[in-house]
Structure 1
Amino acid sequence: MTAELPRTVLDRLRSVSWYGDWEVSTAHTRSRALLMREYMRRAALWAQACGARAEWPFFDVTEFVDPTLSLDPDVEAELEEFLTRTVPTPSTARTCRGAVRWAALVAKRDDPAGLPDPYEPLLLMYERGGGYSIEEFIDLYGVMIPYGNFESNLQAEPFLTLEPSTLDALDQDAEGRITYYAKVDDGYSRNSPLGIVRRRVVGREGLEYDEAFTRNLRWEPTQYLRRYELGENEVDHVEISEREAATFIESVTNRLAGTI
C-alpha cells in the first residue's frame, strides 16, 4: 500500500500548533466553529452508515469501514510516536489516527461508501488554530460550541465551502454578532444574489458596522442597509445563513479567478 497520502496527512498534523496559538485561534473563530460543526455532521453520517452511533463524534471511521486496514509500518510508527509526544488529548488522538488511516483507505479504494471525507473539515480546523477540549461544550480556544445531539448534527445544514480563501473571508474582522443578507432583485435570487452584505453588532453599546463583500474579495463598508432603512434604496434583501454567505464568497472568488 502506498504511504504517500497517509504521510501527507501526518505532515499536516505535525504542522499544527497543538498547544495553542491564542492569536491565531481567536482570529479564526468563525471558520473553526463552522469546520467543527461540519465535522460533527459528517461524523454523524458515517456513524449512522457504519452502525457506530455509540462511538460518535470523535472516532476512527476506518475501524468500521475496513477493519483489516493496515498502515505502512514506517508511517504507523511515526504516527504513534507523534500522537504520544505531541497530541494533547485521547479524543484528539483518535481523530488524528483516523485521519491518517482514512488517507490510507482512500489510497486503497476511491470514494468509500459514497459519503464525504469525514476528516478534512477537522484537519482544516486544526490548521487554523490548534485542537479542542471537551467540557460541557466543545472548547475551540476562542469560541465554544454546543454538542447538540446525534439527530441534530445528522440533519445540520452542510458546510461544503472549505477553500482557505473562503474561510479567511468569513474570519475577516468577524467581531460581534453577525447577520448576513443577500441582495435580491429581478433576475437575482437568494441562491444567486446580486451581492451580499453583513451587519456586525459589536460590544455592549451595540455599535453597528455594515459591510459588503466586494470584487476586492474582502468586506468593505457599505451604506446599503442604512439607505434601505431610509427608503432610499429599491434593491431588496433577505437574511441568509453564514453557510449561504460562504457559498456566495466562494463562487465570486472562483469567477474572478476564472475557474468557473
Structure 2
Amino acid sequence: MSAEPPRAVLERLRAVDWYGDWDMANGHSRSRALLMREYLRRAALWAQAYGAEEEWPFFDVTEFVDPAFRLDPEVESELEDYLAHNVGTPSTARTCRGAVRWAALRAGGKAALPELPDLPELPDPYEPLLLMYGRGGGYSIEEFIDLYGVMIPYGNFKSNLDAEPFPTPAPSTLDALDAGAVGRITYYAKISEGYPRSSPRGILRRRLVGREAETHDEAFTRNLRWEPTEYLRLYELGHNDVDHVQISEREAAAFIESTVKRPSGSR
C-alpha cells in the first residue's frame, strides 16, 4: 500500500483542473468511470472493516482507522485553504481531505490494518479517486454520480463490496482504454489451447457508433494501440479457427497493462 507523503498528495490535488477542462473529462470518461467504480468498491471494503457502512461511499477513512489522529497543522491549514477556494462540492472536498489525512497516517506508520478472510491487506482507498481527479476533475452527486462526461449509478453497498477488482493501472493503460472509445463497446479475448481467458492471445473491442450502430472492430496490437481488425467479421463468416469470449472492461485493462509491461518481442 502506498505511503505517499501528505504534501505529495496535496500537490496532486493542486494540479487538478476542477472545473475548466470539459474536453479532458469527456475524453477520459471510460477510465474515469472505471476508477470511480473501483473507489466505490474499495470504500465499501473499508467501511465494512471499520463499521462505517452508513458513511459509505464518500468518507474519511482515517476517522475510523485512528479517531485520535491529527494532521500536521501547517499541512492542514494549506489543505483547508486550497479546498475552500478550489473544490466546490462538499463530498469531493471530503474525499480530498481524506486522501491527504490517509497519506499522513500511512507515512507515520500508525495504521493498524484489519485482516479480512479473503483480503489480507486492504487496497489504498483513495488512489483510484486521485487518478480520476487528474483525468478531468471531480464529480457531483444526485440520483447518479455525475463525472462530467458520463453518469454512473451508485449501486448498493453489497454490489460494490462484491464487485470485480480493478487494480489501479499505469496512466498508459488508462489512456489506451480511453483511446477512440466512442459508442457502445464490447470487449473480447481471443482464446485457444495454452491461451486461456486469464492470459489470452489478444483482445478486441467492437464499437457500435450512432443510431445506426455503425460497427468498428479493433484489436489492441503490439504497437500498443487499437487498430482495425477483420477477426470478428471473419469469425462470423466461419473463416477463423481461433475462438473468443466476451470479457469485462477490467479484464481488458489487465491485458493492456500486461502488454505494456511485456518486454519487446515477447508474447
TM-score range, shorter chain: over 0.9
* Shift of residue 110, structure 1, vs aligned partner: 7.2
Over residues 156-199 of structure 1, what are the superposed CA-to-partner deviations in whole Å (9 max), with x where a residue is unaligned? 11111421011000000000010000001111110010001110
- Work out whether 1:208 is the aligned partner of 2:221: no
* Shift of residue 23, structure 1, vs aligned partner: 0.5
User: Does the 8 A contact of 2:128 with 2:168 survive in 1?
Assistant: no
Mapped to 2, the partners of 1:231 and 1:4 lie a distance apart of 53
User: Does the 8 A contact of 1:106 with 1:112 survive in 2?
Assistant: no
Give matches, 1:228-239, under 5 Å: 228-239=235-246
**2:178 is aligned with what amino acid?**
D
1:60 maps to what in 2? 60
Which runs of at least 4 in structure 1 moved beyond 3 Å after TM superposition?
A: none
Give matches, 1:81-230, under 5 Å: 81-109=81-109, 112-113=112-113, 114-230=121-237
Structure 1 or 2: larger helix share?
A: 1
CA RMSD of aligned residues (A): 1.6
* Shift of residue 256, structure 1, vs aligned partner: 3.1
1:42 maps to what in 2? 42
| Unaligned ranges ≥5, structure 1 | none
* Shift of residue 108, structure 1, vs aligned partner: 1.3
* Shift of residue 145, structure 1, vs aligned partner: 0.1
Mapped to 2, the partners of 1:111 and 1:62 lie a distance apart of 9
User: Does the 8 A contact of 2:65 with 2:111 survive in 1?
Assistant: no
TM-score between both structures, scaled by the size of structure 2? 0.93
Mapped to 1, the partners of 2:55 and 2:147 lie a distance apart of 21
Amino-acid identity (%): 74
| Unaligned ranges ≥5, structure 2 | 114-120
User: Does the 8 A contact of 1:43 with 1:56 survive in 2?
Assistant: yes
* Shift of residue 74, structure 1, vs aligned partner: 1.2
Over residues 198-246 of structure 1, what are the superposed CA-to-partner deviations in whole Å (9 max), with x where a residue is unaligned? 1000000110000000011010000111111111111110000000000
User: Does the 8 A contact of 2:40 with 2:57 survive in 1?
Assistant: yes
* Shift of residue 112, structure 1, vs aligned partner: 4.6
* Shift of residue 135, structure 1, vs aligned partner: 1.1
Mapped to 1, the partners of 2:4 and 2:155 lie a distance apart of 36
Mapped to 1, the partners of 2:55 and 2:86 lie a distance apart of 23
Q: Secondary structure of 1:98's match?
A: helix
* Shift of residue 20, structure 1, vs aligned partner: 3.7
User: Does the 8 A contact of 1:181 with 1:198 survive in 2?
Assistant: yes
2:15 maps to what in 1? 15
